[in-house]
Structure 1
């Protein structure tokens, strides 16, 4: 009996090695193998953690697509921040243009919000986020402030309102509880707060201990995710408690993690500027590389509906849309 189990294990190992080798040249082979992987009873009992990890890897390769470029949207220049709403509206900020450009996912221009303050003049926004109610929030590294765009009585009019001042605000986001998140780069902090009446910040909480926090996003189960420049990607719980980092937990070698986002299934997606790739970190199992070619200097990432992924590439000034889910 022991000999039979050992033989079965060797057969499964050979099968998995063959599947991994075939994947490198044929996505169709994986699709054909999918029913086999879903009904493993005929292959005998699986023993050993290594085999389970390999099955997870193959299963993820069946579930997620790699390097499936759908469209390239030209931009005004280097993109600093991007945000995609649930209805597929894209908000972009730029290195030099003092405005927020608003597009649809076909690249059609919808609207532009000039970034200008009375008495101060134009300012360049570092990053942008949008709430479910349509409130736009941006960070300004030069002005050391976070601003919200307040719509006036007419739909086409509005003004910027200063919310808070920080030393070096970069990434901005909104968590699952509706609290705003700001990555304070030089200070190594992440600030969290809500907005009350008249755009007054309430419940300001600060999370310390980071090294060059760059971008911040909501995470699974009410958590939030922060990328560090030339460092790691850290997770914090809904009560701002540290939950560890992706790099240390998975022994994953980040180069320069930049934009981060979380999709509807709770998978965390990170764009690495130095390694020129985008990687998905599932709720369970090993990481999956979604984009590994065709990027020059990727900095931002966002998820859209129907399994689409948006990547800001400042190497050639495009927002590139990929299909990453079947």
Structure 2
């Protein structure tokens, strides 16, 4: 068992500067009672366990402790122990020691007085102690999320000590101090090119916290999975509380994930099948199970997964084939082996996928609208896409130079798709969420301002649901439908791009609602270019990225060519600064003629032909009835 570290050594190691003082120093003044708290005998209350079993072994707190033993002990002592500055020879009360157990840490807690016990139980309630530990570990270089659990062996039998009103008041302040922590400004994340990503900070999406407000004790205990029903219900797999929580407009409900009698599993992920029932994957002791429940918690069926693994699993449902897909990891770092198991609902194995591609840690999985299976491999830092068990695509960490700048992934976790087929990935290692098109091309950063995004899902209204397992939060962000900037500081098109989910005709003043999520990087689109000075508009089509097409328009304007756009923006009182652009329709088909027909449809609908707009009059025949009833014509 490791030796304790004296406070003086801790201060020396951290430079004895004011910024290194524990956050709560000002909350606990020295009083006369402090000089009488120590007692000759010690009482062991039990121990805390500090762990993070969801991380690869080499990234867990135990591995950091093994390599940085003294610094880790110092951090834990600072977070928990309380010392009397007027009696430096007295032991800390409470006092802790640190020992390594596997990949986690055991921290026995020792008291010398009733006051020490009251102090510790005060900071133990709620998230304050975890916040203190996280702060101190960050200071010594360990930045991963942690789980802090109390494993109590017994209360101490210590001579009681009268606690005056001042101490009671201070204890209450300690309970409430986490509110102060939550209000501290967070440091800006650094963009991948080394500069602060100011555009992302400016574009943060409005978020709604469900199940709490983040200022007190969270109702979640490691919300590791999330799914959304067709009715808009948000279903959360709350792992360590052994519950499924369901949130809807009618309120919230929950049920315990039981399998036999009072035996329960810790759910690591949840998915919804074609009948609206829930499939939950979780573990109990040394066995993993896939269980089907109703939304009210009635267990319908289940099967045991044959391979024992210490790694958390993901689950998805292929509704078309009625298959249940479960991720599986075996082995230890660095020799991990991952694969996806495909089952029928009775637990019969249909096939396995992914082992031949060297999959390592397939943590989350989903099936898109085209029946493709998308798997986020956290250790290979990529997303695999399979169709009928054949690998179609891999993106996120292919080694391509262009991808490394923006499309690279670091420890990807949750994965889902939106109504346009775009792929949303929780880029957990980079502490952000990213959007890619269905071919794996980077579209944009989705600014969520969350430290450790985990599971993701989309609502029918296009809202993004993100769980954060570091802060135990579930967040719902504004709809992602509409046109959005990609967020890159180097993007010249974003300066001219109009964001939002609606657009209108300057001529008719009629408004239209967008049904797709697009950015300046989107391809196979219809776009609307306008003048912010006089309002005239131009409709165009492109199979290239919008930013590529837009660059050609800007070149035409700046070179003063003879196109209608160049003539307009070089006319008196106008300049290239007046150009605005936005994508308005995503074209599913790769047929060039269909895309051009769609362009004609919108030229006519928005009435952008000259002289009312900047499009040249078309000599083509009028639109057919089929074109007039285009599915992209989406009125509110």
Task: Give the TM-score taking structure 1 as reference length.
Answer: 0.70
Report the counterpart of residue 182 of structure 1 in structure 2.
326
**1:259 counterpart residue number:** 414
Alpha-carbon separation, structure 1, partners of 2:470 and 2:371 = 33
Asked whether the 8 Å contact 1:234–1:243 carries over to 2, the reply is no
Higher relative strand content? 1
- Cα distance in 1 for residues equivalent to 2:250 and 2:466: 13
1:285 Cα offset (Å): 7.9
CA contact (8 A) 1:84 1:304 kept: yes
C-alpha distance in 2 between matches for 1:295 and 1:107:
27
| Contact 1:147 1:160 (8 Å CA) reproduced | no
Cα distance in structure 2, aligned partners of 1:108 and 1:120? 26
The aligned counterpart of 1:224 is 373
Alignment of 1:1-326 (within 5 A): 24=199, 66-73=203-210, 74=212, 75-104=219-248, 108-109=251-252, 111-118=253-260, 121-142=263-284, 143-150=286-293, 158-159=298-299, 161-167=301-307, 168=309, 170-177=313-320, 178-186=322-330, 187-195=337-345, 200-202=346-348, 204-207=350-353, 208=355, 209-247=358-396, 248=398, 250-251=403-404, 252-283=407-438, 286-323=441-478, 324-326=480-482
Contact in 2 for aligned 1:67/1:290 (Cα 8 Å): no
- CA change 1:232–1:176 in 2 (3 A) is farther
Question: What is the SS of the residue equivalent to 2:464?
Answer: strand
Distance of aligned partners of 1:203 and 1:124 in 2 relative to their CA distance in 1, 3 Å threshold: closer
Cα distance in 1 between the residues matched to 2:452 and 2:296:
35
Task: Give per-residue Cα distances to partners, 1:33-70, cap 9 Å, x unaligned.
Answer: xxxxxxxxxxxxxxxxxxxxxxxxxxxxxxxxx53123
> Could you tell me which residue of structure 1 aligns to residue 33 of structure 2?
none
Equivalent position SS for 1:255: coil
**SS in structure 2 opposite 1:127?**
strand
What is the alpha-carbon distance in structure 2 between the residues aligned to residue 180 and residue 285 of structure 1? 24
Contact 2:274 2:319 in 1 (8 A): no
Find the residue that maps to 1:68 and give its secondary structure. coil
Q: Distance in 1 between matches of 2:419 and 2:222?
A: 28
Is the Cα contact below 8 Å between 1:90 and 1:102 reproduced in 2?
yes
For residues 224 and 156 of structure 1, the distance between their equivalents in structure 2, rounded to whole angstroms, comes to 28
Deviation at 1:129, TM superposition (A): 0.8
Q: 1:113 to 1:149 in 2, by over 3 A?
A: farther
Which is greater in Rg? 2
Q: Distance in 2 between matches of 1:182 and 1:298?
A: 21
Deviates more, 1:112-121 or 1:77-86: 112-121
Q: What is the distance in 2 between the residues matched to 1:321 and 1:261?
A: 14
- Cα deviation, residue 253, structure 1: 2.0
CA distance in 2, matches of 1:131, 1:293: 28
C-alpha distance 202-117 of structure 1, shift in aligned 2 (>3 A)? closer
Superposed CA RMSD: 2.8
Alignment CA distance shift 1:144-1:263 (3 Å): farther
Residues 311 and 107 of structure 1: is their aligned pair in 2 closer, same or farther, counting only changes over 3 Å? farther
* Structure 1 unaligned blocks of 5 or more: 1-22, 28-65
Q: Does the aligned pair in 2 maintain the 1:193–1:203 contact within 8 Å?
A: yes
SS of residue in 2 equivalent to 1:126: strand
Q: Which has the higher contact order (CA 8 A, sep 6+)?
A: 1
Aligned equivalent of 1:60: none
Contact 1:117 1:160 in 2 (8 A): no
Distance apart, 1:284 and its partner CA: 5.4
TM superposition shift of 1:171? 0.3
Structure 2: which 5+ runs fail to align?
1-197, 213-218, 331-336, 483-636
Structure 1 residues 241 and 86: CA distance shift in structure 2, 3 A: same
